[in-house]
Structures are given as structure tokens and as C-alpha cells.
Amino acid sequence: MSTQSPRSTSPIALVTGGSRGIGRSTALALADRGVDVIVTYASRIAEANEVAAAVRGKGGRAAALRLDVGAASTFDAFAAEVREALQREWSRDSFDYLVNNAGVGGYAPFAETSEETFDQLVAVHFKGPFFLTQRLLPLIADGGSIVNMSTGLARYVYPGFSAYAAAKGAVEVLTRALAVELGPRRITVNVVAPGGIVTDFGGGVMRDPGLQKAVGAETPLGRVSEPDDVAGVVASLLAPESRWVTGQRVEVTGGYRL
């Protein structure tokens, strides 16, 4: 008797950093749209398994794999694990959507930014997405989509985020380059730039009521962002209706500091 799910032909998305925050919300938003999900986690295996279980609860298929986005030397082994999971769970040799979401916070005034901090931020936010996408490219189906994660800080400036914002700025340039290079395979590549999000990212700084009030006062829509605000945009960029959108930067900040 076959154990195949009725949704075995659903599109498959791989969402890095899918155990919490924007990644978690993105995985669930995609599941609501009939997309199966592979989520990655750095250390939060329990939370990642909960997300996978939630996707299954919505009628989809899911897998959770460990990935350190800052360790490019592990990407070949990770790609092999993805290939194995695709065969095991979906009887496929490719997936459709890649969301490069995983990241770490990093605050330090320019004059105090150490080389170690700089290297970590670049490794996670630029080198990681660059080489992870490269390694996974043979597994991404023609006609698929990639969404990279940037930040509103690539447009407006807060002191203390020079290295973080610069790494994200590099991701935005990379996005345009990939849109051109992957166009012949009909793979769209876009970048989403969130503002301050109420999550535990960066030590949960945006959970501070005072900071939320200050950010809301400079935001036309009058509040700080929630993970679901960003997840919906990511999911829409991966939808078939967005097949003619590529190389674009979509800022999701509620209009902060326009």
C-alpha cells in the first residue's frame, strides 16, 4: 500500500532559519498556500520540529534539517542531506523555492566593530547565502524562485549597524546578479527588506514597548512589524502570480522613514 500523501506533487520550499521569527511564519504561510516545506535550524531542534509538525497539521509534508549558515564548509554535506530528504519524503530530486532567511543580529558602533564580529556577520548574511545558493542550485527546479532576506537598514541608517547593513546591501546586489544569471532557467530572484520586527532577533530588542512606540511614530501605518507581515510578502513572491517579478527589492517596513 502506498504511503504517498495526496499532496505529494505540491511545490516544495526550503526556508533557512525556519524554527522561529520570520522563518517560522514564512513556513506556515507557505503551508497555508499548499506548499510543502523543509525548514533549517542552527540549534533549536525542538522548535524546528514543531514548525514541521504544524506544516503537517495543515495537510502538507515537511522536514527539519540542521544548518549552520555561517559555516560554508558544511554546505556540500547539507546539500546531500537535502537530496536525501527529497527522495525520502517526496520521491523527488529537486525543490521549487529557496528562502535565504537565516541570520544573526549584530550591533556595534563602527569604531568598535571587531574583525571577528565583521567576519561573523559577513559569513552569515552574505557568504552563507552566496555559497549555499550555489551548492543548492542543482537541486532547484527550473521555473523556481529564490527570495533573499535583507533589511530596511540598507536604505535608512541607525548607528551601530554598519557591518550588518553592509552585508545585507551586498545581498541586494547579489540578488540582481542572480536574477540575470538564472533567468535562462526561469528562476526568479528577489529580495525582501523588513524593518524592525517583534521577534527575539537581536536579543529581542523590538519587544521593548518604548522602542515600539518610537518606531511606530515614524511609520505611516502606525506600528512596528510582525513576522506575519513579512511572511505574507515572501509567500506572494513565490506564488505563480509573481512569475514575472525578478531582481526586485521589496521593502516591508510599513513605510518607515519615508
- Active site amino acids: 164
Tell me the three cell numbers of residue 39. 525548514
**Strand residues in 76-155 grouped as ranges (E):** 95-100, 140-149
| DSSP states along 51-67 | HHHHHHHTT--EEEEE-
> Maximum distance among all alpha carbons in the chain?
65
Q: Are 14 and 92 in contact (CB under 8 A)?
A: no
The whole-angstrom separation of Cα 39 and Cα 162 is 29
Indicate the burial class of 241 (C-beta count within 10 angstroms; 0-12, 13-18, 19 or more). Answer: exposed
